[in-house]
Structure formats: C-alpha cells, structure tokens
Structure 1
Amino acid sequence: MEVSNTYYENAPIILSIIQYRYDKIEKFDINLVKELAKKFKSKYPIVNERFVQSIVVNNDNNETNVSLEDKQFDGIQVMSKNRKEYFTITETKFTYQSHEKYEGWENFITNAIEFWDDFSTSFDIKELNGVSLRYVNKIKLPLDIRDITKYFTTYLKDDKNTFSIGNFQFRFSSFDKENNFRINISHLLDTPVEEFVPYIFDIDVLHNNKVENTKEITLGLFEKIRTKKNQIFNDGITVETKKLIH
C-alpha cells in the first residue's frame, strides 16, 4: 500500500477547498466580517458582498410571466488580488478555496486557519456541523493514449462491444463507516488539447457529524480526511500516472 501522504513534485491539483459548517448565525454582522478581513488585507485586498436573486416563472391564463425576486444577501467573499484564492463566508459555512499552484498541506491549511480562528472566535462558534476537503486534480495524459487502464484503476468497460470513447464523465459516492466520511469521486476524460489529453480526478471527502470547534479536534479531523483523500488518489492511479506527476 502506498504511503498515505506521498508528495508529488508536480502535484496535479488545480483546485483545493476546505470548508467548515455550523448552525446558522442569527446575528451575522457583515461589518464585523469586513473588519476581520482587514487583518489579511495585504494578501486578500478584495472584499465583496454576495447576493442571490431567483427567477420566478408564472403560468396564468395561457400566458407566461417571468419576474425576478428581490436580491437576498448570501455572504461575503474575501479575495486575493488575482482572484485565485478566496474565502466565502455565509451564515452557515466558511469556505477557503485556492486555484493557485499547490504548495503543500501546511501552506494550504495555514491560509485557511488564520482567518477561520478569528472568525469563529468573533462569532463564538462552539460547535461544527461538519468539515470537508476537496481536491480537483488535472492530469495531463499523452495524446497517443489508447488504454485508460494504463493510468487509472477505475474506468468504463464494456465486454460486449468494441468502441472508442472520445471523452466521458462519471461520478459515484461511498461511505467510510469507520471514520463516518462521505466520499464523492468524479472522473472526467476531456477533449484533447494541443499537447495532452486532460483528465480530471475530483475527490471530495466530507465529515457531517457534529464536533466541538477546537483547533486540536478540527486539525486532527482534517488530518484524517487528508489521509483518506490521499489514499483514494494513490489507489486510483497507476505507476504510469505517478511517473507523469513525480
């Protein structure tokens, strides 16, 4: 079995997300969140309020009427200057996501925790409803690929027919009873580009049970989730794929 936290020099991670979930904050103070964001202004200078607006379609007297509902506040986003890293903070969720080159676990978790600690302390969040980690990997396969089984251990197969698959996408979920993790996995073979064939391997591991909101407990839980995520990734790729990303 592979070491669970194997490091890849050319890690194919194009999106990494960490999320904390909690009971609705009844007195969600927008100005307080903006004030907290000032501490991180040098790295995340853009602060925007988010709003959602629903479309209402009414069919009455053989006539269709379309209208827009009033805008509703849906949280705050705190972003880096290039908008590749940002926090999305709502009444029930705190999410950090990065599209930057993945520089390792310690760098990623530190970026998230610094802001989370200030936020959860200021809003007195004692308990969490769940946490999760999601990593989207983009692996560059050679243009002359003929057999997907050479690179991945999960694939589409039809023993009764012979045909060429130009691209595909499939998604499945599983449950780790021992750790109480829900795991969502997606595979996507995309359209070839000039130099390679893009393959997306998306792993989302969620823990949806209530836990006490302490740094010791949450960090320990994230380490378990990270280990599970890495196990799934390493078990899902072959030696040939590992050669591409080392």
Structure 2
Amino acid sequence: MSKFHLSKAPITEAVLEIRVISDSEQNIDLLAESFKLEDYPIKESQVQIELKGEVSTEGKEPQSLSESARNIIGWQFRHKTNKQTLRVSTTSFGFSRLAPYENWDSFSGEARELWCRFSSIVKPSKITRLALRYINKIDIPGDRLELTDYFKTYPQISDEASGDLTGYFMRLISQQRDLEAKCVIHMGSLPSPNSETHSTLLDIDLFRTLEADLDEDLIWEILTKFRDRKNELFVACLTEKTLEMFK
C-alpha cells in the first residue's frame, strides 16, 4: 500500500503533529526568533486568554466575563504561497499542507526538515503524541446521491424512514492495535459548489499517545505507517466507482 497514489487525490489538507516533553526551559519569544525562515515569512502568535467572572447559583443572570490574562503559547508561520503552515510551541510541532497535495515524500520531507530545526531549539527528551490527519472533499456529480454507489462506509437509515437524505454526519472511532494507535473518521455532507454536485467530507485522523525517549527514526517510522494505514482506510471507505474519479 506504500506505493498507492492517486493523481487527482481529493485531499484538501494534510496535517502532521508531534508533541514532546523537554527537560530544558524554553522561552516562547526565543522560539519565534529562531524560526525566521525566508519561505515562511508570515508570523502569527497563538494566544491563550484567561477569563474571570462571577457565576450565580440563584438563577440570576451571570455577570459579564472579563479578560484576566493573555499569554502567547505558540507561533504559527505561513508559507509565502499560503499553502503550508508551521505551528510550534515549547511542547508541540505541527505542519500542514493545503491542496494541491503532491505526495508523501514531499510532504514528510518538508516536515522533517522543519522538525529538525525545532528539535535543535527545543531539545525534546520525550515524545508524547504522534498524529497524522488527512481531510478529503469528495464531489459526486448528479442531482441525486445514492451513498451506496460511492461509499462502502456510510450512515445507514432504515427502509421505513421515509424521505430523501439531504444531510448527514457520522463519527467512527477505532483501535488500530498493530500500530498501538486510534483512528477517528468523520464523514458528512458539505455545502456543494452547485446544484448538480454533492460534496462529502471524509476526514481520517490517526494518532498515538505514548511517552517514549526521543528517537528520530521511530517518529518517522510511525508516521509513515500512519500514512500507509490512512491509504488503506481511504480505499476501504470508497467504492471502485469513486476511486476511478481520482485516478
């Protein structure tokens, strides 16, 4: 399955995340200064806002909330093309790519290069979470959508429930025991570009929580296995008729 490739894959966004523990104290502002990259010139802070207020226990209207603290907890850097985003904090590294998604080698190669810079600055000692998520938008032509024609995984209603299905949403959580991971699949209807198209979300999120010593090879070995499993699950959700649209 590692050689699986669709020339017209319906990926709208791919997201990779690594969470860590570091034994060294890190300055969040120094982290921002260390990521001054020519290809990622657009910097935005990620802010945590603390609110305070009084809550009534006597059925009275609650008092208005007010801001008590505002802290920068991370930074986001956007690529000059606006297609790629880097997110960093003292405990996490994230990388995402918007369509068009080229291939795993290109995506993971860029992520790994940025991760190496992050690792040299934060100096993590342990890995606590690895995650890989692919968000797909599948456009089905036609004025009427028969889910069984295009999907092998779908929400099913009984024959006794009358009426045409005009919207749906489904969430599935499964153990991937061989990977010591979990997978969350979201599937649902999306706004369509026109009346002759039905758009469907297929969101596949694989993640593993752990507390392992930092091992560069282990990180990318697990993430590559997640990518292969994502491909297997993607194919398992769709009929051959649908897959043909993306070849």
**TM-score, normalised relative to structure 2:** 0.90
The whole-number CA distance in structure 2 between the counterparts of 1:198 and 1:83 is 24
Higher deviation after alignment, 21-30 or 232-241 = 21-30
Residue of structure 2 equivalent to 1:35: 33
8 Å CA contact 1:18–1:97 kept in 2: the answer is yes
Q: How far did residue 99 of structure 1 move?
A: 1.5
Residues 179, 109 of structure 1: CA spacing in aligned structure 2 closer, same or farther, 3 A cutoff? Answer: same
Matches within 5 A, 1:109-128: 109-128=108-127
Aligned pair partner of 1:19 in 17, 20, 26: 17
Given that 2:28 and 2:90 are in contact with CA atoms closer than 8 Å, whether structure 1 keeps it comes out as no
Q: Go from structure 1 to structure 2 and tell me whether the alpha carbon gap of 1:26 and 1:233 turns closer, same or farther (over 3 Å shift).
A: same
Q: CA deviation at 1:226?
A: 0.9
Counterpart position of 1:70: 69
- 2:84 aligned partner: 85
CA offset digits 1:112-149 (Å, max 9, x no partner): 11111111122221320121100000111113333111
Report the counterpart of residue 189 of structure 2 in structure 1. 189
CA distance in 2, matches of 1:48, 1:206: 26
From the superposition, tell whether residues 156 and 179 of structure 1 become closer, same or farther in structure 2 (CA, over 3 Å): same
Q: Report the Cα distance in structure 1 between the residues aligned to 2:150 and 2:204, rounded to whole angstroms.
A: 17
Of 45, 56, 60, which residue of structure 2 is paired with 1:49?
A: 45
What are the equivalent positions in structure 2 for 1:205-224 lying under 5 Å apart?
A: 205-224=206-225
How far off is 1:68 after superposition? 1.8
Query: What percentage of residue pairs aligned between the two structures are identical?
Result: 23
In structure 2, how many angstroms separate the alpha carbons of the residues matched to 1:163 and 1:208? 43
Q: Return 5+ residue gaps in structure 1 as ranges.
A: none
| Matched residue, 1:10 | 8
User: 1:144–1:45: structure 2 CA closer, same or farther, 3 Å change rule?
Assistant: same
Once the two structures are TM-superposed, the CA of residue 78 in structure 1 deviates from its matched residue by: 1.3
Name whichever of 20-29 and 169-178 sits farther off.
Answer: 20-29
CA offset at residue 90 of structure 1? Answer: 1.7
Q: How many angstroms apart in 2 are the aligned matches of 1:97 and 1:80?
A: 10
1:212 corresponds to which letter in structure 2? Answer: D
Q: State the alpha-carbon separation in 1 of the partners of residues 20 and 126 from structure 2.
A: 7
Q: Distance in 1 between matches of 2:99 and 2:35?
A: 20
| Deviating 4+ runs (over 6 angstroms) | none
Q: What's the counterpart of residue 99 of structure 1? A: 98
Give the match's secondary structure for 1:70.
strand
Q: In 2, are the aligned partners of 1:185 and 1:202 still within 8 Å (CA)?
A: yes
Q: Distance in 2 between matches of 1:99 and 1:226?
A: 16
Length, aligned pairs only:
242
Q: Give me the whole-angstrom Cα distance separating, in 2, the residues matched to 1:220 and 1:30.
A: 29
Structure 2, unmatched stretches of 5+, are: none
Give the superposed CA RMSD: 2.0
State TM-score, norm by structure 1. 0.90
In the TM superposition, what is the alpha-carbon distance from 1:58 to its structure 2 partner? 1.9
